[in-house]
Amino acid sequence: MPAIKKLWYVTAKDLLIVAKDRGAWMTLLVTPLVVIVVVSFALSPIYKGGSLHATMLVTNHDAGSLGKQLTDALAASPNITIQPASDRESQTLKQSGSSSGLSLVIPKNFSARVQAGERVQLQVYEDPNSTTSAPFLKGMIDGAVNRFSAVEVAAKVAVAEAVEQNRQADASAVASQASAAASAQMQNQPIQTREQPAGGVKTLNTFDIETPGFAVMFLLFGVMIGAEGLLEERDKGTMGRLMVAPVSRASILGGKLFAQFIVSVIQITLLFAVGHFAFSMDTGSSLAGLALMLVATAFTATSFGLLLAALTKTRRQASSIGILAILLMSALGGSWWPLDIVPSFMRKLGHLSMNAWALDGIKGIIIQGQGLADILPQAAVLFAYGSVCFLIGLKMFKVRAA
């Protein structure tokens, strides 16, 4: 019991120091909030309602019905905004001061040539710098074109069968009627889809997508500062003088680490709380599961900080190595972009970091509607990961400078 009391005294002292340090709270809370808000608002034109949204410029030179039907089919998607454009606007991808990732030009006599069975080429202008919206819009165009092609093939087969059954039939008249009937069917397709987020969660916004990744990354930066603090106290002899007092090494290190753990829990909880109450970020349907993931993430990050302090000799080393490690872990672990867009070997590498496991669990609750039982494997990996870092760091950390 006396050892626990002494540990708590060390913890309380460190918490008091952090509470009075305005610069520390700038790093722990204000800086990550500013980054999260800026990134989320910057991406909000792309993500509307939690799904990708983009604007497409369309120049339609076709006087027939198929050109309009193609445009209407694209405009029917809630994720696309169609803006009629001139030839010059389509070629430059700019209209009224704004730009688009892609434009579509429908040529003259598009309807007549398609109905006549000719090959028709649509002109697409794509911004090579648009790595998100342009491929998305190109995929939507390909899907619409494939549907039109399927209808036209079906119409041709129907005409061929009709002429085969009735040699006296007027092939051109049958083709015209079949094409008109096929076009009418395009307006009322028998098979349709209805989209909704998996897991029954509410419509997502950019804060649901961006907050978890940046919160985990800045949590690691927070514990890096804690690691620098440990090294500073050791180098200045503060920790050595504490060892002269009737306080065990375990109480000293335990108190400091427990203080860092509490600060980490407060930091990541406040970031999620601000995201939820100020920007309507969804926290999922399992607060218990989310709380477990936040605590597990804070524990693992704190243990990483101890390991960093143990493996470095000076504050400058801790800062340079820590920044490199955190940026690498964040890039590979999904803090900057979703892991499902990277190659499979990078996903495997990413799961060597704590970021990937933390984000798998947190996003599983927020985005996929998972519950406490679903994220237990991720929480277990985090606690195991943190325990290994803690034990290695505890064994290697020297209380007195060499």
What is the percent of the chain where pLDDT is above 70? 71
State yes or no: pLDDT of 254 exceeds 80.
no
Residue range 357-367: mean pLDDT, rounded: 90
CA dist., res. 111 & res. 373, Å (int): 56
pLDDT at 288: 93
pLDDT at 279: 81
For every residue of 50-98, DSSP letters joined together read TEE-EEEEEEE---SHHHHHHHHHHHTSTTEEEEE--HHHHHHTEETTE
Q: What are the distances in angstroms from CA 204 to CA 44, 107, 155, 285, 371?
A: 11, 38, 41, 13, 17
Provide the pLDDT confidence category of residue 290 given band limits of 50, 70 and 90. very high
State yes or no: pLDDT of 401 exceeds 60.
no
Q: Which has the higher per-residue pLDDT, 255 or 220?
A: 220
Question: Domain spans of the chain?
Answer: 2-44+204-396, 52-196
Residue range 44-71: mean pLDDT, rounded: 76
Of the listed ranges 24-38, 41-55, 367-381, the least confidently predicted one is: 41-55
Of the listed ranges 12-21, 83-92, 148-157, the least confidently predicted one is: 148-157
CA dist., res. 98 & res. 75, Å (int): 19
Cα diameter, the chain: 111
Of the listed ranges 7-11, 77-81, 117-121, the least confidently predicted one is: 7-11
pLDDT at 396: 86
Select 52-196's CATH number: 3.40.1710, 3.30.410, 3.30.360, 1.10.3470: 3.40.1710
pLDDT at 191: 40
Provide the pLDDT confidence category of residue 101 given band limits of 50, 70 and 90. confident
CA dist., res. 13 & res. 15, Å (int): 6
